[in-house]
Amino acid sequence: MGPSLRRPFLETFLGAPSDEGEWVLHFHCYLLRDSRDHVTLVDTGVGPVGSPASSWAPVPGRLREELAALGVRPADVDTVIFTHMHSDHYSGTVVDGEPVFANARHVIQRAEPNPLAEQLRDLLHLVEGDAEVAPGVWVRHTPGHTPGHQIVETGGFTMAGDVLHHPVQLADPTIRYVYDDDSDLAAKTRLDLVARLRAERRLLATAHFPEPFVQL
Ligand SMILES: [Zn+2]
Ligand SMILES: [Zn+2]
């Protein structure tokens, strides 16, 4: 952790009232398929009209249509991974009281508060720290934005969830986001992750950037 972390918040707090201009948030989920047809979904997006995210996010989301366009039925999904339990990342999970991905294990860090615990019950798969949760697919605990935030990695590819919200945080990872639970820890996690992604020249897949993929 360097001295730049102590930079005053007001200059650098994404989403603070002093910000000028409009910042349009995009919402991305990711589908992973391996050669053995194991299907993994990372986050379930903003969900339909009336979903938990609908009070603030642009519903309806297009997840089910996008999956159908790829020939993937909800019942085909083997594993759902939640980067964290903010409503724009889980609102496509339970619709009309029923789990949408009824055959999937739903992976969440034990440290993460879980508003879907009652609805998902036996489908839940709690992990602590780093774990391989599907063939070749790893979650890594990256706390700060939320206590149980996790990123997902497979091959040379990293889905960073809400460790990053805006491309400017790649230029300067000390720039903070107002809705990080633990701002100092989130900044440290972001600095460490961006440094490692650069060192390993990984392909970054973002949750909220206008362009989903960034080659580092
Ligand atoms: Zn979030
Ligand atoms: Zn988010």
pLDDT tens digits, 121-138: 999 999 999 999 999 999
Q: Is residue 8 part of a domain?
A: no
**Which band of pLDDT confidence, cut at 50, 70 and 90, is reported for residue 10?**
very low
Measured CA to CA, the distance from residue 14 to residue 11 in angstroms comes to: 9
Residue pLDDT, tens place only, 50-102? 999 999 999 999 999 999 999 999 999 999 999 999 999 999 999 999 999 99
Q: Is the pLDDT assigned to residue 2 strictly greater than 90?
A: no
**Predicted local confidence at residue 193, as pLDDT:** 98
Q: Is the pLDDT assigned to residue 8 strictly greater than 90?
A: no
**Domain assignment of residue 151, given as a range:** 27-208
Cα(116) to centroid of ligand 1, in Å? Answer: 16
Q: Is residue 40 part of a domain?
A: yes
Q: Is the pLDDT assigned to residue 13 strictly greater than 70?
A: no
Cα(39) to centroid of ligand 2, in Å? Answer: 22
Neighbours of 115 (CB within 10 A): 14
- The pTM of this model reads 0.91
Q: Is residue 6 part of a domain?
A: no
Q: Is residue 19 part of a domain?
A: no
Cα dihedral: 124, 130, 134, 135 (round 10): -170
Residue 84 tokens read as 């964290």
Q: Is residue 16 part of a domain?
A: no
Q: Is residue 139 part of a domain?
A: yes
Q: Is residue 122 part of a domain?
A: yes
Residue pLDDT, tens place only, 18-51? 555 677 889 999 999 988 889 999 999 999 999 9
Number of separate domains in the chain: 1
Cα(84) to centroid of ligand 1, in Å? Answer: 7
**Predicted local confidence at residue 74, as pLDDT:** 98
Cα(36) to centroid of ligand 2, in Å? Answer: 30
Cα(181) to centroid of ligand 1, in Å? Answer: 9
Cα(87) to centroid of ligand 1, in Å? Answer: 8
Residue pLDDT, tens place only, 141-156? 999 999 999 999 999 9
Q: Is residue 83 part of a domain?
A: yes
Q: What is the CATH number of the domain that holds 168?
A: 3.60.15.10
**Predicted local confidence at residue 22, as pLDDT:** 72
Instruction: Average the pLDDT over 169-192 and give the result.
Output: 95
Residues near ion ligand 1 (Cβ under 5 Å): 86, 162
